[in-house]
């Protein structure tokens, strides 16, 4: 029994023979296998041409399936790439700050470091030193320091400490 697909294939092969479109290699093989009988060669040619058309269709279908799978993989890769690019842009937007905020953060950081250094190195230890530092001008401090250095030179020779002389 011939199925519907085979009917279509036999119709295509018969139409080719009726129009004079013949595959020379297949016809020669059919003629050879039929022992030179034209009627048998024609029947055998039709069977071989149906098999040939069927294999060509199968190859085309397989190629179409491969191409379809390739397109699906390519679409998935493009979607993954687009998602990655979107994540990168979203991350950049989230981390983007105006220039003035960056400048403010930098200046604040420098000021904090200066203040911490001042606390560590030059921090006044008594209330009198705080008052001296806060309430005197730089010129007055320079004059007082020069006066203390001259006193300090004479007190060093006596073995006295400068802090021992200045008491609140």
Cβ contact 13:49 at 8 Å: yes
Residue 167 is predicted with a pLDDT of 47
Predicted confidence (pLDDT) per residue in 51-91, tens digit: 999 999 999 999 999 999 999 999 999 999 999 999 998 88
Helix, strand and coil in the chain, % to nearest 5: 85, 0, 15
Query: Over pLDDT 90: what percentage of the chain?
Result: 35
Q: How many CB atoms lie within 10 A of CB 45?
A: 24
Predicted confidence (pLDDT) per residue in 21-60, tens digit: 999 999 999 999 999 898 999 999 999 999 999 999 999 9
Closest CA to 29 of 47, 56, 16: 47
Its pTM surpasses 0.75: no
Domain ranges in the chain are: 4-93, 136-168
| Residue 59, SS3 per DSSP | helix
Length of the chain, in residues: 168
Q: Measure the CA–CA gap between 101 and 109, rounded to whole angstroms.
A: 12
């Amino acid at each position: 029994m011939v199925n519907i697909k085979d009917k279509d294939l036999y119709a295509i092969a018969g139409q080719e023979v009726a129009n004079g479109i013949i595959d020379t290699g297949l016809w020669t093989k059919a003629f050879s296998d039929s022992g030179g009988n034209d009627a048998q060669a024609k029947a055998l040619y039709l069977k071989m041409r149906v098999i040939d058309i069927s294999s060509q269709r199968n190859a085309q279908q397989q190629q179409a399936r491969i191409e379809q799978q390739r397109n699906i993989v390519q679409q998935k890769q493009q979607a993954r790439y687009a998602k990655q690019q979107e994540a990168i842009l979203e991350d950049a937007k989230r981390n983007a700050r105006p220039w003035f905020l960056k400048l403010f953060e930098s200046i604040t950081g420098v000021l904090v470091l200066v203040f911490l250094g001042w606390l560590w190195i030059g921090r006044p230890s008594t209330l009198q030193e705080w008052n001296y530092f806060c309430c005197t001008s730089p010129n007055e401090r320079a004059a007082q320091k020069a006066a203390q250095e001259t006193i300090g030179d004479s007190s060093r020779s006596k073995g006295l400490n400068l802090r021992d002389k200045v008491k609140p």
